[in-house]
Structure 1
Amino acid sequence: MQYIEIEKKFALPDPAALKAKLEQLGAKPSEPTRQVDAYYNAPHRDFLAPEAISEWLRIRTEDRGSSINFKRWHPVDALIKTHADEYETKIDDVEAIRRLLEALDFRPLVTVDKTREEYKLPDIEVVFDHVVDAGDFVEFEFKADAANVDDATEQLEQFIASLNIELGEPINRGYPHILLGREH
C-alpha cells in the first residue's frame, strides 16, 4: 500500500483526554512543529473546478525540512473520500521549486499555517493540528500493512473506536477546503 494514504480526521475541541490515552498506549509526543503549506492550482486542470475537490499540489516548509506533495483523493467524483494516492518527497531548495511551479503557470491557491504534534504507535500515527483561522483537529493515519484500502480503513476505524474517547465531528475535507470555504 505504498503511496496510498488512509486517514480519518476529526474536529477536536479538547485534545487532553486523547493525548492522555495515547500516552497510556506508549506513544510519545513529538516536539510541536510549525508547518506552512502552500497549495497550488495547475494550469492544465483547475483543481477547484469539480464539485468535490480531489487533487492538491502542496509545498510544505518547516524547521525539519521542506517537501513537495501531490494527492489525488478517491473515489474522485465522490463527496466523501476513502483514501488518496500520495506522492511526497523532500526538497532542498524550496524557493527553486516555487519559481519552477510559477514558471510553469501553477498559481498559489491558499496557505495553511499550522502547528503539528505527532504521536506514533506501531500501526497508527496520530497528529494534532492547530490550524490558523480554522481550529484544532486530530488525524489518524494508518501506517501498517493491509490487504487493501477496505482492510486498512477497517483496522483504522477499529483502533479509533477502541480508544473510547469522544472526538468532535468527522471532517471529510482538507484544511485547504476549510480555508477556501469549500464543503467538498
Structure 2
Amino acid sequence: MLPGVEYIEVEQKFRLLSPVEELKAALVRRGAVPGAPARQVDTYFNAPHRDFRDDPVVSEWLRIRQEDGGASLNFKRWHPLEEPVKTHCDEYESAVSDAEAVRRVLAALDFTELTVVDKIREEWHLDGVAVAFDRVAGHGDFVEFEFKGEAAGVEEATAAITAFVGGLGIELGERVNVGYPHLTLGFRPEV
C-alpha cells in the first residue's frame, strides 16, 4: 500500500495475447498464490448533478459490485483527469450488506444506470502485486496488475508494476488504458 494514500489504486491492464495458461505457469514458477474464480457483476451509475460522460475523457465511475458472498459500493476518480492515459485513481470502496437497498437509494436520488460489466475474475498474489485474470462478457480476456506493496508514491508503484510485468517474460498483448465500463459503453479515447 502506498503510505499516506490508503485510497489510491495503481494498476496496469492488458488484453491477453498469449494463452492464459502460459502466464499462470510463469506466476507459479515465481511462487504466486492463486485464488478461486468468482463472478463479479458491476453496475455503473451516472450522477444526477453532473454527467460523468460529459468530459472528453471519462475519469469517474460509481458502481455497485455483486459477487459470491457480498457486495460493495465503489467510486473511482482517475488521474490525470484530462489525459487519456491514466496513472492512478482515487478509490473509495465499502462493503454493503444489501446491494438492492443501495440500488434503490441511488434510484431515489435520481442516479441512473449506465452499464453493467459481467466478468469472471481469478486473482493471484505475488511480490506486492495482485494479478487479476478477467473474462469480461462480450469483450474477451484481460489481465490487470494492481500494486499492493509499499511505495513512496505513484511513480514508484508504477515502476514496480512495470518491472514485475517485464520480469514475467510473457508477451501480454495491447495495453488497455480504459476501464471495462468504457469498453461496454464504446468509449475508446485516443492515446
- The Cα shift of 1:31 comes to 1.3
- The Cα shift of 1:100 comes to 0.3
- The Cα shift of 1:64 comes to 2.2
Match runs of 1:107-126 below 5 Å? 107-126=112-131
The answer for the alignment partner of 1:50 in structure 2 is 55
Q: CA RMSD in A?
A: 0.8
- The Cα shift of 1:124 comes to 0.3
Q: Is 1:158 aligned to residue 163 of structure 2? A: yes
Provide the identity percentage: 55
- Give secondary structure in 2 for the equivalent of 1:48: helix
- The Cα shift of 1:12 comes to 0.5
Q: Is 1:11 aligned to residue 32 of structure 2? A: no
The answer for the alignment partner of 1:74 in structure 2 is 79
Q: Name which of structure 1's ranges 17-26 and 67-76 shifts more when overlaid on structure 2.
A: 17-26
- Give secondary structure in 2 for the equivalent of 1:141: strand
The answer for the alignment partner of 2:185 in structure 1 is 180
Count of residues in correspondence between the two structures: 184
Rounded Cα–Cα distance in structure 2 between residues aligned with 1:21 and 1:2: 30
Match runs of 1:96-111 below 5 Å? 96-111=101-116
- Give secondary structure in 2 for the equivalent of 1:37: strand
- Give secondary structure in 1 for the equivalent of 2:65: strand
- The Cα shift of 1:122 comes to 3.5
TM-score normalised by length of structure 1: 0.98
- The Cα shift of 1:164 comes to 1.1
- The Cα shift of 1:127 comes to 0.4
Rounded Cα–Cα distance in structure 2 between residues aligned with 1:65 and 1:22: 28
Rounded Cα–Cα distance in structure 1 between residues aligned with 2:69 and 2:131: 19
Equivalent of residue 171 in structure 1, options 161, 171, 176: 176
After TM superposition, what 4+ stretches of structure 1 lie above 4 angstroms from structure 2? none
The answer for the alignment partner of 1:148 in structure 2 is 153
TM-score normalised by length of structure 2: 0.94
- The Cα shift of 1:28 comes to 2.4
Structure 1 segments unaligned to the other structure (5+ residues)? none
